[in-house]
Amino acid sequence: MSDTPQSRAAYFDALYAHNDDPWHYHDRSYEIDKRADTLAMLPRHHYARGCEIGCSIGVLTADLAPRFDALLGIDISETAAARARSAVANFPHVKIQVLHVPAQLPDGMFDMLILSEVLYFLTPAELATLAAFAAHQVVPGGDVIVVSYDGETLTALDGRKSTDVFTAAATPYFDVISNAVRPHYHIRILRRRHD
């Protein structure tokens, strides 16, 4: 897969065009267990405003929805975003937006940023841009949760390396408050320092 936003969008649109659930979010035990683990590891029971980058078809988004006053899901694929809107139709406080992150980034301030299975699709420079976005738009005391597969990703950076690159870029502004390693994935939580 090429490393341009346009080529990524085309790749994911084609992927979703041929399969309603290409990662088997609904029936694969890895996805079900990881989603439950993600929800259990959120440091707070409730957040004011969250942003999930790489929301795909909205399965995690729908599970996150009750924990937020407002939640924004973002995906690069129009096809995935349309399915995500259906998945969260019963949650009027959840919005889905199509953006080519990090070339395009959402407005507003967030107290939770969710980055699940998305960082390894980005280049080191893009990871630095995303870390700068988090530094400016995650409120002091707010959290970032990174969830990533630890196997082969067929991308320039694997899951662990992409998490490490993002964490290093975010280090001037964030502290790592949790780092859980599971058999096939890891979850890392960063908290925005108070200035």
Q: Is the pLDDT of residue 13 over 80?
A: no
Q: Is the pLDDT of residue 3 over 70?
A: no
Domains of the chain listed by start with CATH number:
5-192 (3.40.50.150)
Confidence of residue 4 (pLDDT cuts 50, 70, 90): low
Q: Which pLDDT score, from 0 to 100, does residue 1 have?
A: 46
The b/e string for 21-58 (b: 16+ C-beta within 10 A; e otherwise) is eeeebeeeebbeebbeebeeebeeeebebbbbbbbbbb
Share of the chain above pLDDT 70, in %: 97
User: Does this model's pTM top 0.75?
Assistant: yes
Q: Which pLDDT score, from 0 to 100, does residue 5 have?
A: 63
Query: Can you name the residues that pair with 97 across neighbouring β-strands?
Result: 74
Residue range 103-108: mean pLDDT, rounded: 96
Half-sphere exposure of 60 (CA within 13 A, CB side): 32
Give the CA-trace dihedral at 107, 112, 114, 115, to 10 degrees: 80
Q: Which pLDDT score, from 0 to 100, does residue 192 have?
A: 98
Q: What is the pLDDT of residues 25-46, one digit of tens each?
A: 999 999 999 999 999 999 999 9
Q: Rounded distance, CA 44 to CA 191, Å?
A: 12
Q: What strands, in cross-sheet order, belong to the sheet with 68-75?
A: 94-98, 68-75, 47-53, 110-116, 138-149, 185-192, 174-181
Q: Is the pLDDT of residue 138 over 50?
A: yes
Structure tokens at 130: 């995303």
Structure tokens at 10: 């085309």
